[in-house]
Chains A and B, each alone.
Chain A
Amino acid sequence: MAREKSLTQSREYDENIINTVREPLIVLDQDLRVVSVNRSFYGIFKVKPEETVGQLIYDLGNKQWDIPKLRELLETILSKKTTFDNYEVEHDFAVIGRRVMLLNARQIEQAWGKERIILLAIEDITERSRLENLLVESEYRYRHIFETASDGIVLFENSDGHIIQANKAAENMLGYSEAEYVGKKLPDIGVPLGMNDDFPTIMRDLDKIGVLNYENVPVKTKVGQIIYTDLYLVDRANFIQCNIRDMSERNKLEAKLRYAQKMEAIGTLAGGIAHDFNNILNVIMGYSAMVADTLETGSPAKEDMNEVLIAAERAADLTRRLLVFSRKDVVTMMPVDINEIILGLKKMLGRIIRESIEFNIELADMPLTVLADAGQIEQVLINLAVNSKDAMLEGGRLTISTGLQELNDDYVEAYGYGKPGQYALITVADTGQGMDAETQKKIFEPFFTTKGIGEGTGLGLAISYEIIKKHSGYTNIYSEPGQGTVFKIYLPFSEEAASLEKEKETAAPVKGGDETVLVAEDDASLRKLATIVLESFGYSVITAVDGEDAIAKFMENRKRISIVMLDMIMPKKSGKEVGEAIRKASAGVKILFVSGYTMDIIKGKELAEAGSDFIHKPFTPKDLLIKVREILDR
């Protein structure tokens, strides 16, 4: 009995011990049946005492504990060893889900009954394992970001500023290999942050704020090139992360935007004032012309008025040129041969440049037809020639050449602009002083000029650039100080347009005159048409509304009238009758009969036989003008 009692006491003692242990404990006999478990076991694994004690461990909780790794531990490992620590088992329990456990196993030989028992301590490390995985993942992510970032990233010690690591982007951006980076400080790799004097200050600020940001910092690469960057310093506990962001591309875009905005502002301004301004100029020019007419030819006052007129015309011309920048500019695109334009300008260009400059024109041996406003292309060529002249004060050679040029995909790729296709290429090359890269960048900006005050408006090249852009073309500049300058202008070549151009060429020119014409026509709208058309081309017109009116008007103005235009059918007297009456009064007068009906045509034939001229209705204004001129010139 005493032994029984001591056994019970001993058991109670054991139970008390294991129940104080916070982690789940389970005691098994040598047949792997549960002898006892602690409270924590019940709590964590959600099993009931009556379903536990005396059961085979694998059968616990509906065989939830039949875990292959557990079998391996209990049956294989423990048959060779008496203890095994930190045996990791991951298992998906039906009731409580996936758990990661660390098992510590002890085999204990019991003196009493000589039975062996197994003590299993189970540590649930699910949460710890999850955090570890998160950390690994986070590190992986960071590494991935670090390696693939487009920012150059260098990590340096926060104690002394020595670089410990640099990413691929940093290698590419500044030209140092990672090995070259390691051990250097930021100033050694061209990043001008005061790593010696200011280093403690920087570190203190960084500690306070967490992130420091420096904008538009010039960084010198290994080969000595300056690139503008934004720098970020980020506190990363033991080290500092420095992001170097290359802003060249953004700066370039910003410059482009600024340029476009400037152009637009000028355009808006010009468009806004052009109308009013031209009206004012009209008044100046109109009254000046009137005053000038009243003055004696050769008088000093007349000379002065002419100066006013010339200045007003220059002002009008300037407004017109500024309109290039606005969308209100009227561009008349016609098929034109670039070679023809250049040949037509040859004399004028020759006058612009000085005698000390040799002037060559080398044209392609085929017509280079483009859709263009010939006047504007001429303006571009004149602007370029003026520029070349000013760049060759000591004399030199100006060469204008043309050719057909294909812009292929490679070109577009290499230069970052252009639409592939055939282009008419105009090259304007001089042997002048040339210009540096900085000047080249600004050369197309409005109001940029290298000339002295009063010598240039700084608009010539900006306008030229804008004109070419409006023609869907491109302007390129190649220059070096002392090496002369080459402008290349690409205009889209148009094969279709070439044939159209020939049609236009056959159109006969229209000539006007200053003679007086008597127009006798009873139809008001036709009378008006003839009047306006003739007046537009310089003639003076007297009108008559019927046959009798025609005779009366002729008699009144017979001295002035050079030609009479007579409608065949009119009220009161027919054209034929009027013609006869007029001839009687003044034999040599020229008459143009206008016929509209078949009947008239027959009469017209008689008249034609009698030496009279006639024109058929309907006639175009051009027909009329040609006919009138032809008769008068006979």
Chain B
Amino acid sequence: MSEKILIVDDEDANLRLLTQWLIPLGYDVEFASNGEEAKDSTYE
């Protein structure tokens, strides 16, 4: 199981940039657009 990284950014462009970077390095990613979403994600 690869390590998962939660990326929090309200700019989709930045989410895309990081995804482009992290996936080839073997990481799993998850996104949140704001602090609230990020908090919910970490509780799951």
Contacts and interface: CB of A to CB of B under 8 A. Distances in A.
Interface of A: 504, 507, 509-510, 525, 528-529, 532-533, 535-537, 620-622, 625
Nearest to B15: A532
A536 B22 CA distance: 11
Contacts of A504: 26
Interface string B17-34: 101100110101111010
A622 B19 contact: no
A533 B19 contact: yes
A621 B31 CA distance: 11
B19 A536 contact: yes
Q: Interface residues of A: mostly helix, strand, loop or mixed?
A: helix
Given A525-B31, A620-B28, A621-B28, A532 B2 contact: no
Interface of B: 2, 12, 15-17, 19-20, 23-24, 26, 28-31, 33, 37, 41
A528 B31 CA distance: 8
Nearest to B37: A525
Nearest to B22: A621
A371 B17 CA distance: 26
B26 A533 contact: no
A524 B33 CA distance: 12
A509 B23 CA distance: 9
B16 A532 contact: yes
B39 to A, nearest CB: 13
B28 A536 contact: no
B20 A536 contact: yes
Nearest to A334: B25
A625 B23 contact: yes
Contacts of A507: 26
Given A536-B16, A536-B17, A621 B26 contact: no
Nearest to A535: B16
Given A510-B23, A525-B37, A533-B19, 8 more contacts: A525-B31, A528-B33, A532-B31, A536-B17, A536-B20, A620-B28, A622-B2, A622-B23
Nearest to B26: A507
Contacts of A533: 19, 23, 29
A625 B24 CA distance: 11
B43 to A, nearest CB: 13
B24 A510 contact: yes
23 contacts: A504-B26, A507-B26, A510-B23, A528-B33, A529-B30, A532-B12, A532-B19, A532-B31, A533-B29, A536-B17, A536-B20, A536-B23, A537-B19, A537-B23, A620-B28, A621-B19, A621-B23, A621-B28, A622-B2, A622-B23, A622-B26, A622-B28, A625-B23
Nearest to B40: A525
A504 B16 CA distance: 23
Contacts of A622: 2, 23, 26, 28
A537 B16 CA distance: 8
A229 B25 CA distance: 57
Nearest to B41: A525
Contacts of A510: 23-24
Contact of A509 (B2, B24, B37): B24
Contacts of B29: 529, 533, 621
Contacts of A529: 29-31
Contacts of A525: 31, 37, 41
A537 B17 CA distance: 9
Nearest to A529: B31
B40 to A, nearest CB: 9
Contacts of B19: 532-533, 536-537, 621
A201 B30 CA distance: 84
List 10 A-B pairs, minimum CB-CB distance, nearest first: A536-B19, A536-B16, A536-B20, A620-B28, A532-B15, A510-B24, A507-B26, A621-B23, A622-B23, A535-B16
A525 B30 CA distance: 9
Nearest to A538: B20
A621 B33 CA distance: 18
Contacts of B17: 536
Contacts of B37: 525
